Every structure is written in structure tokens, then in C-alpha cells.
Amino acid sequence: MSLSDSDLTEDGLTLEAAGTARLLVIGCGAIAREILAVKAANGWDHVDLTCLPAILHNHPDRITPAVEALIEEKSTQYETIFVAYADCGTGGLLQEACARHGVEMIAGPHCYSFFEGNELFAKRAEGEIDTFYLTDFLVRQFDAFVWKPLGLDRYPELIHSYFAHYRKLVYQAQTEDPALDAKAQECASRLGLAYERRKTGYGDLAVVLSEAVGR
């Protein structure tokens, strides 16, 4: 299946298996490829996936109502629903909504944390307050999520204002892709930041999905 980053950003993704699935994963378009990779590696034919548009991350107040609407819409069709979002800037509202519906979700503040592993990320957090993170998806969609929304395509002089307190860019690599590595380095250079690549793989995402499927 061919996935378009622009489609995942603006439209999300619906992948259903003709009513044969018993588990629905509601996720973010920004991690659709990773969820599909874990699904394929484990042969989870009984798992359906619906992803909301990744661009909702630029409007985190919209994430909770969008997820809750999907839970309500799909709850009669599936034995189990799992929400593949962390808090993602919702200030605990997403967790409260999931609890109301008896639905589990990914622990942690955001995808940067669960890709690296929540425990490890928390240990590093105090020393990395001046760090800007990118994932595979965000490297590919850097212009759509960072450069253009901040107006840097029109006013590049604002880079210093936005990133004056950042020291480095950390690229959390889910895959081995030299082209993405080169692009991530370019992103760091554009922002005037030092560069570090960390191979995280799928981190806690693979673990929590396996646990959800196994229940």
C-alpha cells in the first residue's frame, strides 16, 4: 500500500479488513507507517487501523474531541479499541476521555518520549530542555509542520527568535535511511542547531501495541 505523507498530514488513514477485525487502533497519521510496520511484522490480520490527520498536532485542542468522536462511532463494531496517542499536548484531556469510555492509550507525554522509551526519555529530559526533536515522519514533513506554520518560509529572520533557547536537534530514527538522515541534518542546519541522530526504532510503541493485541 502506498502512503502519502501529505494525505497522512491532512486526511489521516482508514485501513479496515472487511469486518473481520476485533481490535481497532485509533492513531495519529504521523505514526501510521510505524503502526502498519508493527502490524505487518506480527501478522495481525485481526487489527484495523484508523488514523486522524497528523496536522491536528498543530492544534492539540482538537485531538481529544476527534478521538472521542471516533471511539463513539466505532465502539459497537469492535471488541476492543486502543488509542495510539500519548498526551500530545491535550493537558490530560485525552486520558480523561479514554477513561470515560474504558479505552486504553499509550502512556507518556508525546511520541518523542514513547519512541525513545518513556523511562529513558524521562531520565534524559532535564538535560535536554534545549533540544528540538524530529521523527522520521517529521523529517519528511518538516516544512509542513515547522517551517511554514512558524512563517520561516516568509520571515527566516524569525529563526533566532523561535530557536534562541535551543542548542541541538535530535533526529529519532525509526528506520535506517541515509536520505532521511541527510535531510534531518539539513533541518538542523536550517535552524542553526547542532545535530544528533538516535536510532530508536519503534520504542514503546511496539510494546504497547503487542500488549493491546494480546489482551
Percentage above 90 pLDDT, the chain: 86
By CB atoms closer than 10 A (0-12, 13-18, 19+), residue 87 is buried
Q: Are 8 and 29 in contact (CB under 8 A)?
A: yes
Question: What is the CATH code of the structural domain delimited by 5-112+202-214?
Answer: 3.40.50
Q: Are 135 and 172 in contact (CB under 8 A)?
A: yes
Mean pLDDT of the 183-205 span? 97
CA 70 to chain CA centroid, Å, is: 18
pLDDT classification of 21: cutoffs 50, 70, 90: low
The Cα 110–Cα 87 span in angstroms is 6
Kindly report, residue by residue over 45-74, the tens digit of the pLDDT: 889 999 999 999 999 999 999 999 999 999
The sheet with strand 131-135 has its strands ordered as 131-135, 168-173, 194-199
Domain range summary for the chain, segments of one domain joined by +? 5-112+202-214, 117-199
Residue 207 vs residue 17, higher pLDDT:
207
pLDDT at residue 93 is higher than 60: yes
Percentage above 70 pLDDT, the chain: 96
Question: For position 214, what pLDDT does the model report?
Answer: 83
Helix (H, G, I), strand (E, B) or coil at 126: helix
Question: For position 200, what pLDDT does the model report?
Answer: 97
Question: For position 104, what pLDDT does the model report?
Answer: 97
Note every long-range contact of 178-184, with CB atoms under 8 Å and residues 24 or more positions apart, other chains counting: 180/136, 180/139, 180/140, 183/139, 183/140, 183/142, 184/134, 184/139
The Cα 88–Cα 86 span in angstroms is 5
pLDDT classification of 24: cutoffs 50, 70, 90: very high
